Amino acid sequence: MGIKIGKKVGVDLGTTNCAVAVLDEKTGKPIIIPNSQGEKITPSVIQFTEDGGVIVGSEAKEAFELGESGCTSAFKRNMGKEGTYCSFYGKSYTPVELSAILLRYLKEETEKVTGQKIDEAVITVPAYFYSKERSATMQAARMAGLNVRQIINEPTAAAMNYGVNHWRENAVIMVYDLGGGTFDVTLVQMKKDSQMVTLSTAGDHTLGGKDWDSRLCGILKQKIWEEAGISSSDYPEIDRTVTRSAEKIKKQLTERREIRVTLPIPGYGRFTTSVTLEEFEKSTRDLLEKTGNLCGSVLADMNMGWEDVTDVLLVGGSTRMKQVAEYLEEKSGHTPLSQVHPDEAVALGAAIQVHQPLPEYTVVTVASRAVPDDSRKNSGLFNFKKKEKVSEPKSPERKYKVDGPVGQEISFDNALKMTHVDVAAHAMGVIAVNTEGTRYINKTIIPANQRIPVKCAEAFRYYTSAKGENEVEIYVLQGEREPLDCQIVGKYVVSGIRHDRTQNPTLIRIQYSYDLNGVVHVQARQGNDTRDLPIREEPVPEDMSKYGRPVEQEEGELIAEPISAVMAVDVSGSMSGQPIKDALKAMCNFVDQFRDYEGGVKIGVIAVSDRSQVVQQLTGDLEKCKASIRSIKSCMTGVCNAGHPFADVLRMLKGEEGKRVAIVLADGVWEHQDTAIEAAKKCHRKDISVIGIGFGSADEKFLRDISHGDMEAMLVAQSELVHSFGKIAQEISADRSRGKHGRGGADSDALTWEAPDEQRK
Ligand code: AMP
């Protein structure tokens, strides 16, 4: 089989307990490696002693329960938060440092027991963990000397472990993971060729067994008050006594319907009472319902109902509470499965994952374009012109046919072949300004539940101000609510932006990605550069309240966006004489309208009759452009109208930033109108606005068919040509702040960026 055990491990780094697993050399199945005391589970508790010693695991947990000093636990709940979590004997510890101590202990214990050095690990985290918490976990692992192959989601790991033993193609498994401090619910499907696919995930990482414990504390304190007439204001030790006993009582209630409880209250004496399961269930029903609502939401995300769930898999220590299984059975009509060991399944699944190939990046097409407001004092916030289109969430067909008998074991070889596709629980967005320029919004860049690793196919673009600023700020968010209700991943400052002599707006492209660990990355480049611009992360300002208020007036002004326009003029025989003269005059007038246009303009010119000829490539030199227009002669490309200009239009405008417009002037009927309309539609699909303008015997319907965008086709008198071209130019430039001509389509060749640095090993 060729697998060396002990070198690659799966680690369940739980809020309350940890476990380590490897693949067994003989059977190839994942097994738990106990610690050197023979325990399969190590409590996530640390005790610091006065003489500088550190105790980890059961002994520390016992000390904690006895109320000894120097003990700390549940620090996982604060992962990703800055600052000290606890201080003992003159030293302070952050959640990352505490997790590193725990991980180092697990590593050393496993090495002691297996006799082999660990060289790689997969560590699990709640699916609902944000980018910061995931980065913090990686940092803790590095501090512990662990080489992390991947961070994976706990429910995913549990499902993989379950899948090895109970493979059924098409089965949809709801993994209900209620641990000590977190709750996650995840839908996973077993697909063809041993592929496990996470469909959707949601959770609440402030909800867990500890909340049930505190409800029990409430029940006990109420009883002490009602039955003994005392409270913690009389006997402050009541709080501590009750807290210490609650978890134990909760566990006893999974075995019995009623238990006698005796609590020693210092200063008062012993207090005895009884607690029933019914009381406990009643006081915690809302917590269960919270989990039920989240289950409903992951199903709704996938257009599924409870009837589509093949099995409910219980994971996490708190699913031992009787009411959890009962509640889920009530909801789903299924008896939840508990074939996986709630304390071990996650580590076992991680041990399978550590032997699997790493997933590749997928690309999300965000068909929107951002134009920031440079008047907003270089805030770098984007101003969005168009409703974005993002790739549709996956929506599997309903009611899967599940093959094979229940509980069929997958062969070991297949288990190793088992591939897994995971998703990011949170949408990724940026703080932006709404279309009207009045309000700050959370602009989604990568929707929730996209397969990871994932990146935006097209970078976002925006323009620095003409004032020569060379830095811009971006606030990246996770979540889908208003900016201030979301998790702010970070403030990223893109620097080193170069300006050209013209002081024209500068194009910066931003790319966002979730790496395979669910960590957010931001990259930026200038123009068509292939080098990344330097980005530094700065602390998010404490006062972000401005983003909850309307955009201040001067901040709401909108920037003019660049315009690229191509004019195609019919030069067939019928245009000879005055018509061509009037047409060329009108085209020059069009060019003149852009003299003071702030956003930057490029104009190109095509002559078309039997064939299309580019007379002037796109240029910002307006005099040169006018000279080229004046050089146009009738019949220069043939006498008849056999050709069309749209292939050249497409080529000229491809890759251009900002508004892209084509104005096509015709005076008669073209020979191959259907071909021309088809070619025009290709331009439309690339979101190029086409304005057909005709005079004389031009075909109005044809002009309408080739036109696309907010401006209508026009049939005008020859004498009105100059005026009409001027009007078109004014509308295009005046329309800038509303972006009616905004280009929404992402060019498929927009970007070919490498994976974020951290992923390049
Ligand atoms: P985990 O984070 O998955 O290790 O789960 C730890 C949580 O499971 C803690 O809140 C424990 O109190 C809870 N737990 C463990 N055993 C039981 C049990 N028998 N009954 C109720 N809760 C339990």
CB 435 within 8 Å of CB 461: no
**In the block, residue with structure tokens 């029990």:** 216
Query: 320 in ligand 1 pocket by Cβ < 6 Å?
Result: yes
Domains 204-338 and 562-735 share a fold: no
Cβ pair 33, 7 in contact under 8 A: no
Q: CATH number of the domain at 1-166+347-356, please?
A: 3.30.420.40
The Cα–Cα gap between 243 and 65 comes to: 9
Q: Is 15 in the pocket of ligand 1 (CB under 6 A)?
A: yes
Could you tell me the distance, in angstroms and rounded to a whole number, from the CA of residue 181 to the centre of ligand 1?
10
Amino acid at residue number 493: V
Q: How many CB atoms lie within 10 A of CB 13?
A: 27
What is the Å distance from ligand 1's center to 322 Cα?
12
Give me the amino acid identity at 616.
Answer: Q
Report whether residue 247 contacts ligand 1, using a CB cutoff of 6 Å.
yes
Atom of ligand 1 nearest to the CA of 212: 10
Distance (Å) from CA 41 to ligand 1 centroid: 12
Kindly list the domain boundaries of the chain, sorted by start residue.
1-166+347-356, 204-338, 362-556, 562-735
d(CA 362, CA 115): 39
Residue owning the nearest CA to atom 20 of ligand 1: 251
- Cα–Cα distance, 349 to 20 (Å, whole number): 10
List per-block mean pLDDT (blocks of 10 residues) for the chain, which spans 761 residues. Answer: 62 94 85 95 96 96 93 93 93 97 97 92 90 95 95 89 82 90 88 81 87 96 95 91 94 94 93 96 97 93 88 89 93 77 88 80 48 34 35 39 45 60 85 76 85 70 57 87 89 82 64 89 83 90 88 54 91 92 94 83 94 94 94 93 94 87 91 92 88 89 86 85 89 52 28 41 35
628 lines ligand 1 (CB under 6 A): no
Which residue CA neighbors atom 18 of ligand 1 most closely? Answer: 251
Measured from the CA of 178, which atom of ligand 1 is nearest?
Answer: 3
Shortest-distance atom of ligand 1 to CA 17: 4
d(CA 227, CA 453): 57
Q: Is the CB of 344 under 6 A from ligand 1?
A: no
Nearest CA to ligand 1 atom 1: 179
CA of 184 relative to ligand 1 center, distance in Å: 15
Could you identify the residue written with the tokens 């780094």? 13
> What is the pTM for the complete model shown?
0.65
Nearest atom within ligand 1 for CA of residue 181:
2
- Residue 361: strand, helix, or coil: coil
Tokens for 192?
Answer: 């063809």
Whether the CB of 179 sits within 6 Å of ligand 1: yes
Which is the closest atom of ligand 1 to the Cα of 342?
3
Q: Is the CB of 321 under 6 A from ligand 1?
A: yes
Under CATH, which number does the domain 362-556 receive?
2.60.34.10
Q: What is the pLDDT of residue 53?
A: 95
Atom in ligand 1 nearest the alpha carbon of residue 253: 20
CB contact at 8 A, 21 and 347: yes
- Is any ligand 1 atom within 6 A of the Cβ of residue 43? no
Name the β-bridge partners of 689.
661
Q: Report d(CA 148, CA 8) in Å as an integer.
A: 10
DSSP string, 121-178: EEEEE-TT--HHHHHHHHHHHHHTT--EEEEEEHHHHHHHHHHHHS--TT-EEEEEEE
Does residue 93 contact residue 72 with C-beta atoms inside 8 Å? yes
**Amino acid symbol at 314:** L
Does ligand 1 come within 6 angstroms of the Cβ of 478?
Answer: no
- Evaluate: CB of 251 within 6 angstroms of ligand 1: yes
Asked whether 14 lines ligand 1 (CB < 6 A), one says yes
Tell how far the Cα of 323 is from the centroid of ligand 1, in angstroms. Answer: 13
For ligand 1, what atom is nearest to the CA of residue 247? 12
Kindly report the protein residue whose alpha carbon is nearest to atom 16 of ligand 1.
Answer: 317
* HEC secondary structure over 634-694: CCECECCCCCCCHHHHHHHHCCCCCEEEEEEEECCCCCCHHHHHHHHHHHHHCCCEEEEEE
Q: How far apart are CA 582 and CA 663, in angstroms?
A: 15
Cα distances (angstroms) measured from residue 426 to each of 201, 447, 477, 519: 9, 7, 9, 11
Separation of CA 248 and ligand 1 centre (Å): 10
Q: How far apart are CA 462 and CA 394, in angstroms?
A: 30
Q: In the prediction, which pLDDT does 383 show?
A: 35
Tell me, using a 6 A CB cutoff, whether residue 155 lines ligand 1.
no
C-beta of 319 in contact with ligand 1 (< 6 A): no
Position 29 scores a pLDDT of 84
What separation in Å is there between the alpha carbon of 307 and the centre of ligand 1?
A: 29
Q: How far apart are CA 447 and CA 450, in angstroms?
A: 6
> Does the CB atom of residue 323 touch ligand 1 within 6 A?
no
CATH class of the structural domain 562-735 = alpha beta
CATH architecture for residues 204-338? Alpha-Beta Complex (3.90)
Ligand 1 within 6 A of CB of 124: no
- How far is Cα 463 from Cα 385, in angstroms, rounded to an integer? 14
Predicted local distance difference test score (pLDDT) of residue 720: 87
